[in-house]
Amino acid sequence: MLLVGLVVVSAAAAAAISIGAIVTGPDLTFDDLSTAAKLTFLVAVGATVNVRIRIRASTRATSWTEVAFLIGLAVAPTPWVILCTGLGVGIARVLLRLAPMKLAFGIAKDMLLAGTAGLVLALFEWQCPIAGTAQRLIVPLAVAYLATVVLDELLTLPVLALATHVRLRGLFTEHWDLRIASAVARFLVILCTMLILRVDTSLLLVVPPLVLSLHLAYSSRVRSRSEQAAWQRLATATDALNDVNLEAVLSTAISSATELFSADAVEVELHDGSVHRTIRGKATGITFDGPPDEAPDLSGNFIPVRLDGHDGGPDVGTLRLHFRGPVKLSEREQYTLQTFASALCTAIRNASAYAELVRVADANAHAAAHDALTGLANRRHLLDLGTRQLSQHHADGVTALLLIDLNHFKEVNDTLGHAAGDRVLIQVADRLRAAVQEEDLVARLGGDEFAVLFRGLPAPAMAAHRAEAVLAALHVPIDLDGMRISVEASSGIAVAPGSGGMTELLRRADVAMYQAKRAGQRIATYTPARDTADVGRLALGGDLPRAVADHEFSVNFQPIVDLNTGEVVAAEALARWQHPAHGTIDPFRFLETVERSGLLPAFAEAVLDQSLEAANSWREAGFDLPVAVNVSPRSLLDARFPDSVLARLNAHDLPPDRLILELTETLAISQLEVVDQVLGQFRQAGIRLALDDFGTGYSSLSALSRIPVHELKIDRAFVMAMETSTEAAAVIRSTVDLGRSLDLVVVAEGVESEPQRRALWDLGCSAGQGHLFARPMPAPRLLAALHRGSGGRPGSLAPPLHDEGAVIRFSPGRRPNGRGRADRLPHLPA
């Protein structure tokens, strides 16, 4: 306003001086009212015909006024030209209905330009009416025109930049080449008009058509270039939205929309489910991010558009352009706004979907490494972290492991119920977590067994001291519904050995813990001289007859899932020993003992009976799933084993193809004739055979020529390493190609993340199992999970990789045929 006021005051002074000069100067009389009217009309036409470019809520108009008053200086004295210019511009701007401030600035600026041009011509001793040679005409006229053009830029652009908060440098450089070409064309018009006026001043009326023709050509060129630049900016803006980070998408949208639509501010309001959020900002950055009701009010006008995309789905919010004054978007700008809003909607949906996938993957990864009840690390996490720690060769100090087993915990479950037992385990976990240092790791290994991994100990002797401090946290009784329960525990501690890794450390701590139990001590430290590993194995062997008779062996089931659709296509049976003293014992701790005992047939029959009974219950519920049961190599040496399996199939009234026998470590004995006969009987009966841990043995390929298997199972080690190891990915790809060529099903074990699932499917593997889909669970829980389904689809445990009807682009080398696909496993009934 100060700058506009200065221009208006200067113009008023110029007008006053012009009136005074006309009144007092006898040489400035100008009685030809017809010529004055023509000059005023010419100025009005020049001011009316302009090219308008919107800059935020203001408009930059380039008119032909300077052409009009420079022509006027050829036929009239400067004071008259200044006054006629003000009158003509005033008439034109009033007809355009401009705001008072813009009207005053436009009149004042053009009067100053006319006065400046007259002053320059006076310095060259310009004569009016036109006189002299053509050379004396061109030079003064060129200098005067250049002075008006420069002064026009210096007066207009700063006012426009201050009013719209746009960088002044950008206004100076915008369309500079077109502005220069227009200036040259206008000067030629002025020059030609001057030559015409030397012949007859009445020809002044010929100038407006010529001006109009040049104006149409110039405005068409400016409009074409502006639209081309707008489409390029739109393409650049929509490309910039292709980001999986929602915050980056919103920040880019704010800055891009501000520049693209020349807005004062841009606002995005999101309402996705329970999330209501408003993000507001300018080209310089975000100014507000929070709930909509907390957003500060903005004065001015908003132009809203819904973010609903082109797919007819629900909108995700609203995009609003803010302008300080009234603005009406052109048809091209409205289409651009709709296109940008659609691209922004797609980008927000994609970023939100990716964030959800990351959240689910992180949750699955956390669940795979942590105990569901207590939130502590599980056995796998303990082994992984301990292995990494020991691989550092004790560079960070001494590593030790404390193994804790709660005494008489079974009595709590039997007396107060499993819910009370779970609460005890949770409180024990909380106390252990609070008692250790930040670098230590607390884990629950299963049942009532816990472990603490001490890292960075300054000396081996510190291990026992730290263990005592941890166990002291269990001294205070636990309050359980008004009942105080004392927690007693036996624990063993071992320092990391020089060889054997984490497995040996865990075994030594386990040996020390059993030493503490037998001796009635709270804690025992491992010593090689008292290693009772063989004694412990013998103890387990002694418990086997009772375990079989009392049905202490139970079976959990881990589903096998179609990687593409997420549907369950089978389930693998996993045996567990519910030991009355030691809690749940994993197979790797007792299978060797079972195989060496004479109770292997009874154990195998117990596991097979539970597995077939579960498959029968699923089938009756409408889920016709085959069950996979691991077979010990020693069982294949028993010629009576096939008859026993078939008898149990008949007893449970299940078709033979509902049973899959997984062969483990069979390669070393695959040349024995009795094994070939047993496997042949299974194949002939219709029982499916699977080769487990394929790729880990040196004779895997040669075994396929003798073992009549239907499926290959990729070992979990390759799946875990495939994202970082090209060799592991190559093994998987080769196995899939081999399975396809031999018409075998290929199943990947240990699938624990969505990236692994998608990578396996891209490599051609169609089925998988792992913690991404489900942990091993009892048969009733699996049946409940099948009924519940995923996304309202019973029988599925994961969302499909591709929407129904989507076009799937297979990676190079992946063939979409049926060979080796999961759908070769029996599916759910239609």
- The string of pLDDT tens digits covering residues 421-480 is 899 999 999 999 999 988 899 999 888 899 999 988 877 878 888 898 899 898 888 888
Mean pLDDT of 203-224: 62
The alpha carbon of 575 is separated from its chain's Cα centroid by a whole number of angstroms, namely 39
Q: How would residue 57 be classed by pLDDT, with cut points 50, 70 and 90?
A: very low
Q: How would residue 819 be classed by pLDDT, with cut points 50, 70 and 90?
A: very low
Mean pLDDT of 232-252: 83
Write down the mean pLDDT value for the chain.
79
Q: How would residue 61 be classed by pLDDT, with cut points 50, 70 and 90?
A: low
Question: In CATH terms, is domain 370-531 a member of 1.10.3720.10?
Answer: no
Tokens linked to 792 = 């309202």
The CATH number assigned to the domain with range 2-229 reads 1.10.1760.20
For position 492, what pLDDT does the model report?
92
Question: CA nearest 354: which of 365, 362, 344?
Answer: 362
For position 159, what pLDDT does the model report?
72
For position 696, what pLDDT does the model report?
56
**Helices 379-390 and 331-369, interaxial angle, to 10°?**
90
Tokens linked to 113 = 């330009």
In this structure, are strands 711-714 and 688-694 parallel, antiparallel, or unpaired?
A: parallel
State what percent of residues in the chain have pLDDT above 90.
18
Upstream peptide bond of 291 is cis (omega within 30 degrees of 0): no
Sheet containing 301-307, strands listed edge to edge, beginning at the edge strand earlier in sequence? 285-290, 275-282, 265-272, 317-323, 301-307
Burial per residue of 597-624, b for 16 or more beta-carbon CB atoms within 10 angstroms, e otherwise: bebbebbbbbbbebbbbbbbebbeeebb
For position 807, what pLDDT does the model report?
59
DSSP, collapsed to helix, strand or coil, labels residue 830 as: coil
Domain ranges for the chain: 2-229, 241-362, 370-531, 562-573+599-824
Mean pLDDT of 616-626: 93
Question: CA nearest 68: which of 204, 223, 226, 232?
Answer: 204
Return the CATH architecture of domain 562-573+599-824.
Alpha-Beta Barrel (3.20)
Q: Poorest-confidence range of 41-50, 252-261, 337-346?
A: 41-50
Residues 781-795: tens digit of each pLDDT: 999 999 999 888 899
Q: Where are the beta strands (DSSP E) in 635-749?
A: 659-663, 688-694, 711-714, 745-749
- CATH fold match for the domains 370-531 and 562-573+599-824: no
Q: Which residues contact 135 (CB under 8 A, 6 or more apart)?
A: none
Question: In CATH terms, is domain 241-362 a member of 3.30.450.40?
Answer: yes
For position 774, what pLDDT does the model report?
92
The answer on pLDDT for 558 being more than 70 is: yes
Phi, psi (rounded to 5 degrees) for 395: -65, -25
Phi, psi (rounded to 5 degrees) for 6: -65, -40
If 0-12 CB within 10 Å is exposed, 13-18 middle and 19+ buried, where does residue 420 land? middle
Residues 293-337: tens digit of each pLDDT: 888 887 778 888 888 866 666 778 888 888 877 777 777 778 888
For position 535, what pLDDT does the model report?
46
Burial per residue of 628-647, b for 16 or more beta-carbon CB atoms within 10 angstroms, e otherwise: bbbbbbbbbebeebbeebbe
206 backbone φψ class: left, alpha, beta (φ>0; ψ -120 to 50): alpha
Mean pLDDT of 710-714: 90
Tokens linked to 239 = 């490309």
Q: How would residue 58 be classed by pLDDT, with cut points 50, 70 and 90?
A: very low
State what percent of residues in the chain have pLDDT above 70.
77
Q: How would residue 820 be classed by pLDDT, with cut points 50, 70 and 90?
A: very low
Q: How would residue 670 be classed by pLDDT, with cut points 50, 70 and 90?
A: very low
Tokens linked to 467 = 């263990």
Task: Please tell me which residue, 472 or 815, carries the higher pLDDT value.
Answer: 472
For position 291, what pLDDT does the model report?
87
